[in-house]
Structure 1
Amino acid sequence: MMAVLLALAFLLEPAMLVAAGWWGFSLDAGLAVRLAAGLGAPLLITVVWGIFCSPKASVPLAAPAKTAIQAACFVTGGLLLALAGRPVPGILLVVLWAANTTLLRLAGDPA
């Protein structure tokens, strides 16, 4: 069961980045703005994730703080996907992350 939960966690992370990129590339703006937003939003989330949430994070946090940063990243990804006209997948992304994270914690995964 733990392997399935960890695999889902692994798959949800790039899905969050794709959601942020989808928002940027779907903006009703010029090509330069769409490129900046479509590449910049996932890059910003990736930087935050790498600094605070990755296994080799440069700023190690206690589990509750790390979970809060992860939640902020996933809620941002879900919100951006909703703003791109895909509210159901946006909500599903956040709900799947929350459920998976809860099950991982109950199964004994500390981070």
Structure 2
Amino acid sequence: MVFVQYTVLGIFFLMELCALAAFSYWGFHLNRGWFIKILLGIGAPLLVAIFWGTFIAPKASIPVSIPVRIILQLIIFALAIAALYFSSKSMLAVVFLVVVVVEMIIMYSMGW
């Protein structure tokens, strides 16, 4: 059972990293000038990481209840999926959507 728990938590961590990568990819692939690309390509994932660390992370500085945490996680992941979709990576967005839904169902149905 411990192996399953660590596997689920490991996949969830990889989903967090993929969300940050999706925001970065979106920012760097906008049809704007290089300054905006750099600003959003670095700034968007940085802001999301700060938000995640403040409210959602296990050792968050402002912890929230589990239902609020689930809603915030779903918002972040939905925005990452939208970022992939609007970056012309619709198939990758669909795959990420499926992984997020399955992983969150597994994680929260097991009481973690």
Is TM-score (shorter-chain normalized) higher than 0.5? yes
Secondary structure, aligned partner of 2:32 = coil
After superposition, give the CA deviation of every residue in 1:1-34 in whole Å (9 maximum; x if it has no partner): 2222111101111100000000010111111010
Picking from 5, 13, 16, the partner of 2:16 is 13
* 1:87 CA drift (Å): 1.2
Map 1:14-93; keep pairs closer than 5 Å.
14-93=17-96
Secondary structure, aligned partner of 1:59 = coil
What is the distance in 1 between the residues matched to 2:97 and 2:19? 9
Aligned pairs, number: 109
- Letter paired with 2:101: A
Secondary structure, aligned partner of 1:70 = helix
* 1:76 CA drift (Å): 0.6
1:99 aligns with: 102
- Letter paired with 2:23: A
* 1:94 CA drift (Å): 2.6
- What do you get for the CA RMSD once the two structures are aligned? 1.1
The answer for unaligned runs of 5 or more in structure 1 is none
Q: Which runs of 4+ in 1 moved over 2 A?
A: none
* 1:91 CA drift (Å): 2.5
After superposition, give the CA deviation of every residue in 1:45-88 in whole Å (9 maximum; x if it has no partner): 11111111011112111101001001110001110111111012
- Letter paired with 1:52: F
- Letter paired with 1:27: L
